[in-house]
Amino acid sequence: RALGGEGGFVVRVRGLPWSCSVDEVQRFFSECKIANNGTSIHFTYTREGRPSGEAFVELESEEDLKIAVKKDRETMGHRYVEVFKSNSVEMDWVLKHTGPNCPDTGGDGLVRLRGLPFGCSKEEIVQFFAGLEIVPNGITLPVDFQGRSTGEAFVQFASQDIAEKALKKHKERIGHRYIEIFKSSRAEVRTHYEPQRKVMGMQRPGPYDRPGGGRGYNSMARGVSFERMRRGGYGGDGRYGDSGSSFQSTTGHCVHMRGLPYRATETDIYNFFSPLNPVRVHLEIGPDGRVTGEADVEFATHEDAVAAMSKDKANMQHRYVELFLNSTAGGGSGGYGGQMMGSMGKTSPSDISNSY
């Protein structure tokens, strides 16, 4: 444990190359003393065991912490690395609740898909996993309170071995969208997806809903909050807040951006899509008041949104940016665009928007 009382002297590092080693982190922080003779470097991992690009580093003193924080935005290899002040409570929570051995990641043959095209059918999912046995009635497509698809699915395979093969299709495409695949568990479905089928007034809050926040249900219904929480949408006190976005489309033709540099501005995003002219850019803000590295960009037409997808994986500054199409030909605002301006920042369950 680092010195310094309850909080310790801890920094959170983000944007590390996936192949990054302890030695490289030690060299990056060579001007400050890392606790326990330089060994207190803790990488975090996804539930699939892949490096997340983040780490926590414990330092020996307040002075070392100050020096470490000044390394924010310096480069390691071709990537710039972000360094934030953290604390031991946050670090312990994240290390306990991420990675392949975290609770509720037992091997029961269940996977979660994210990024499905709007209106994707169970038949298309069966076709996507052709040759891999799915149990009868083994596909669940969650919907939000208004009955709209969340862009996610749970698929129960006949065995854990088959599920492991299914995970290898991570980032393969259905239509124009590439699909993300994650290990899941019945506990995850039970905790994060089943409550939304109950009547709103009778529902008990889930473990991540913020009492009185008025937005906890919204994030669960959108079906993205749990994943974002594991990626790092936590508050400074080590508890996860809701990180749902109040974005609602007025045109129905959007592109979702992920992996933005954390200093990116709306102007940078307009320039990124030039010569296309987005109608509106919405930078997402997390529960800690910081940008999340994600944004929703609205276009006037489906054709513009499709054209914008040609920039998928293009670089902004030193980062490549992932794009996700959220538009269908002829798809309008779905009847909820008119209330958008009145609901920015105070989303209620009655105006949940599905940006994913």
**Confidence (pLDDT) at 220:** 36
Alpha-carbon torsion 28, 33, 34, 38, what sign? positive
Full 3-state SS string of 29-55: CCCCCEHHHHCCEEEEECCCCCEEEEE
Per-residue pLDDT for the chain (356 aa), expressed as one digit of tens each? 444 555 789 999 999 988 899 999 999 999 999 999 999 999 998 777 788 889 999 999 999 999 999 999 999 888 889 999 999 988 988 888 777 766 544 467 899 999 999 889 999 999 999 999 998 888 988 877 677 788 899 999 988 889 999 999 999 999 889 999 998 877 777 665 654 444 333 444 444 444 433 333 333 333 343 433 333 333 333 333 333 445 677 788 899 999 998 888 888 898 899 888 888 888 888 777 788 889 999 988 888 899 999 898 888 888 889 999 988 876 544 333 333 333 333 333 333 333 33
The strands making up 82-85's β-sheet, listed across from edge to edge, are 41-45, 51-58, 10-14, 82-85
pLDDT at 251: 80
Sorted by where each starts, the structural domains of the chain and their CATH numbers stand as: 9-98 (3.30.70.330), 110-193 (3.30.70.330), 253-327 (3.30.70.330)
Q: Which residue has the tokens 């002219």?
A: 277
- What is the model's pLDDT at position 109? 87
The pLDDT of residue 35 is 94
Cα separation, 240 vs 78, in Å, equals 31
Determine how many CB atoms are found less than 10 A away from the CB of residue 239. 13
Contact between residue 280 and residue 345 where contact means Cβ atoms under 8 Å apart: no
Q: How far apart are CA 192 and CA 140, in angstroms?
A: 13
Stated as kind and residue range, the H or E segment containing 341 is: helix 340-343
The predicted structure's pLDDT at residue 253? 87
The predicted model scores a pTM of 0.35
